[in-house]
Chain A
Amino acid sequence: MNTSNSQLTVAEEGISAPPSPLAELWRDFRRNRGALIGLTLVGLFIFMALFANWIAPYSPIEQYRDSILAPPAWVEGGKAQFLLGTDPVGRDMLSRLIFGTRLSLLIGIISIGLSMSIGIVLGLTAAFSGGKTDTGIMRLMDVLMALPSLLLAVAVIAVLGPGLMNAMYAIAIVQLPAFVRLTRASAIAERSRDYVTASRIAGAGVLRLMFIVVLPNCLAPLIVQGTLGFSTAILDAAALGFLGLGAQPPTPEWGSMLASALEFIQSAWWVVSLPGIAILLAVLAFNLMGDGLRDALDPKLKR
């Protein structure tokens, strides 16, 4: 009898204090130490990107010809005014890395924003129209999925020509299938629910059903995919920059910074290792955050 009693109290408590969805998300997210580290790092990167003009000691493209390839300040021969040393043409590494943060986040925001919004529209269209439109959209996505990610990006660059903006378009196209498939799958699952039928009976048009009724309930997996896609976007943009197909010099993009310093790999370790560490940390941060969000949002994994 004791058990049924305690169950009752639990149920009552549940009714008396329903946690808001956001509070619940935060509670689950906070338990995950990795996710918190990721969030902190992401916050730090956003801060650096927003206030790069004030934080960075120098301009990222100003060349100090009297101190070319100066090592970091703590190394023998380093100069105190260049904390992380200078690159082969005498630009301050720290300033370039800080401005690189801004560029990497911008690449992520633009390419994922583009990919996600087109993906949502295509996915909802496929889910709601069915038939030939659905098959057509999904076949197109199959085609894009058959091409290895970086290869597809390279193909897009081959058409559009190298450059930062084109690299973002390329990355958006590479990530598109993931968003389309996710949106379609969750929209199809939601479409037959009672609340959707109810608002259809109440006279809601297809567009309203798609974007106002169904979409908000499909957002959880999209947010997770967006966060994880952000890290892939940063990684792919750096890879394209490294191959000389993305951002062009003197833009302080991490991947192209690495590429332009290649010949100094033996003599000046800092010009090669520092941009790589920046890329790794940024990618790691978004992956940790994405994993944490997925665990917190996925009801299957809850307890």
Chain B
Amino acid sequence: MISFFLRRLGVLIPTFLGITLLVFALIHMIPGDPVEAMSGERGMDSARHAQLMTEFGLNRPLPVQYVDYVFKAAKGDLGRSIVTQESVMREFLDRFPATFELSLCAITFALTIGIPAGIIAAFKRNSVVDYGVMGVSLAGYSMPIFWWALLLILFFSVQLGWTPVSGRIAVEYDPEVVTGLMLIDSLLSGEPGAFRSAASHLILPTIALGTIPLATLARMTRSAMLEVLGEDYVRAARARGLSPLRVLTRHALRNALIPVLTVIGLQVGTLLAGAILTETIFSWPGIGKWMVEAIHRRDYPVVQGGILLSATIVIAVNLIVDMLYGVVNPRIRHQR
């Protein structure tokens, strides 16, 4: 198990270095130099320009700058935002819990509906239920989520007035930040309406962000289930006279869920990409909204740091999923 883990980790190191190189190159590929980009449209006199170049260490040879960047990044120093002068790492850590909470709710939403729907569709293959589930998930899979989010707002917030339109909690509540997760913090604050308010703010963004993972999971579960249901061991279990439910839970489901696990890991990327749109629409103060704003303000250190950290999360989660995969399925562990 340990050698399996180390092997996977070994493959990741070049990938990770590649990402740092890409992110480093990002700021040097911008037309002009970073200092010019920071100064914006107005420009800047050459003395100040030269001074800033030295200050940021941009006069040194590129390889030296790159190595410096990697070592600083390894220590968590990703530079400072040009706009707020705040440390990029600090800004990221302030915003990450919001994105984490939203993503966690979205994937829970996707799992609790997607997997059962996929199982039912596989069991009732070619029935009305199957066509219904597949049709809806195809639509969900093709849905432009920014538009879907607007439709949700239009219906539930504007027409029915059931849910708030933006933010994480109503302004009158201001729970103390303990975990950074609004649902937990609002409960801890002990104020009666705070939790309700936090939960109602989460509903629409959760649905908007969870729709694509939901559709993907339903499709994947169905096809994995169909494959397993045709296997000899399932037929054998049926022949032994086990009830359909027992065949499902004890024999089919366990094996069908192995490929589904990988798909769940891949959804992290989908969630982070989707967060860019969802957070922008719902004014959700997470890392997606933070990065879009940074691009519009040409705040390059933030863009750089945000991309690096998001990629790190994706890599880390997929490594964990790989590990779990090895635990669930011993055959994988012993392959080269």
Contact = CB atoms under 8 A, between A and B. Distances in A.
A75 interface: no
Given A154-B295, A258-B147, A148 B314 contact: yes
B138 A288 contact: yes
A157 interface: yes
Q: Which of B18, B148, B291 has the most CB of A within 10 A?
A: B18
B277 A146 contact: no
A167 B19 CA distance: 21
A148 B141 CA distance: 16
Interface in A118-160: 139-140, 142-143, 146-151, 154-155, 157-159
B270 A157 contact: no
Given A148-B273, A242-B277, A287 B15 contact: no
B158 interface: yes
A44 interface: no
Contacts of B81: none
A238 interface: yes
A2 interface: no
Given A269-B154, A283-B142, A147 B18 contact: no
B326 interface: no
Given A139-B15, A148-B314, A155 B150 contact: no
Contact of B142 (A151, A155, A258, A284): A284
Contacts of A287: 138, 141-142
B15 A280 contact: no
Interface stretch (B43-51, B109-117, B247-255, B303-311): B303-311
A239 B19 contact: no
Interface stretch (A78-86, A182-190, A271-279): A271-279
A149 B138 contact: no
A258 B146 contact: yes
Contact of B15 (A143, A150, A235): A143
Contact of A159 (B15, B29, B139, B314): B29
A10 interface: no
Contacts, number: 122
B280 to A, nearest CB: 7
A242 B310 contact: no
Give the secondary structure class of A's interface. helix
B153 A239 contact: no
B209 to A, nearest CB: 12
B236 to A, nearest CB: 24
A243 interface: yes
B269 interface: yes
B158 A265 contact: yes
B295 A148 contact: no
B320 to A, nearest CB: 14
A159 B154 CA distance: 35
A125 B29 CA distance: 26
Give the secondary structure class of B's interface. helix
Given A146-B19, A243-B292, A265 B142 contact: no
Interface residues of A, number: 42
A245 B303 CA distance: 14
A147 B304 CA distance: 12
Contacts of A225: none
Contacts of B296: 244
A101 interface: no
B299 to A, nearest CB: 10
A150 B277 contact: yes
A155 B26 contact: yes
A255 B15 CA distance: 33
A7 interface: no
A175 interface: no
B259 interface: no
Contacts of A147: 19, 269, 307, 310-311, 314
A38 B277 CA distance: 27
B62 interface: no
B300 interface: yes
Interface in B278-331: 280, 291-292, 295-296, 300, 303, 307, 310-311, 314-315
B14 interface: yes
B144 interface: yes
B311 A146 contact: yes
Contacts of B31: 161
B154 A272 contact: yes
Given A140-B18, A272-B150, A149 B269 contact: yes
B22 interface: yes
Interface in B5-35: 14-15, 18-19, 22-23, 26, 29-31
B270 to A, nearest CB: 7
A276 B144 contact: yes
A68 to B, nearest CB: 21
A263 to B, nearest CB: 12
Contacts of B150: 258, 262, 265, 272, 276
B144 A158 contact: no
Contacts of A245: 295
Contacts of B307: 147, 151, 155
B272 interface: yes
A149 B146 CA distance: 15
B332 interface: no
Contacts of B146: 238-239, 242, 255, 258
Contacts of A238: 144, 146
12 contacts: A146-B311, A148-B272, A148-B310, A150-B276, A159-B26, A238-B144, A242-B146, A273-B151, A276-B151, A280-B147, A284-B138, A287-B141
Given A151-B307, A157-B295, 10 more contacts: A139-B18, A149-B269, A239-B146, A242-B146, A243-B277, A245-B295, A262-B150, A265-B153, A275-B147, A280-B139
